[in-house]
Amino acid sequence: MKSPLNLIDKKTLKIMLGVILLLTLFSMLIIVFTGILRNDKIKKLEEARYIREQQALTSSLNFGIEDFYLDPENSGGIIVYPSVERRSRWEREDVRKYWIDPSLAGLDKLKEENDKRVFEALGIDGK
């Protein structure tokens, strides 16, 4: 039985092998350059994300915990802390005298304002 390679002229066989070799090399170069370009894109995206995170961190450091105790209606910036003399035991009359119902104290509004500030600092849409 004759070898199938003997059916093709040696010159033609060399040309075919050369073309196959060139196509293989060309394909490998395309794969390598595509990988390099893709890695560059990934690096650029990571750098952009890092910059955004640093900006968010910097902007979030522009306020302190005292900002959350400020009354939004008090533009003077004076922080008022309620204080009552310390006692080891409280009588009912004293409790009634100082008790404030949380639902009437405007805590919901204060919570909304604080949440808004946190969302702004983190760059998140609150709603």
Domain boundaries, the chain: 8-62, 64-127
Q: What is the pLDDT of residue 21?
A: 96
Distance separating alpha carbons of residues 83 and 127, to the nearest angstrom: 35
Of 102, 113, 123, the residue nearest 68 (C-alpha): 113
**Regarding predicted confidence, which is higher, 124 or 2?**
124
pTM, full prediction: 0.33
Helix (H, G, I), strand (E, B) or coil at 41: helix
Residue 77 near residue 70 (C-beta atoms within 8 A): yes
Helix (H, G, I), strand (E, B) or coil at 108: helix
The pLDDT tens digits for 25-74 are 999 999 888 888 888 888 888 888 888 888 777 766 666 666 665 555 66
**Regarding predicted confidence, which is higher, 78 or 36?**
36
Write the single-letter amino acid at 62: N
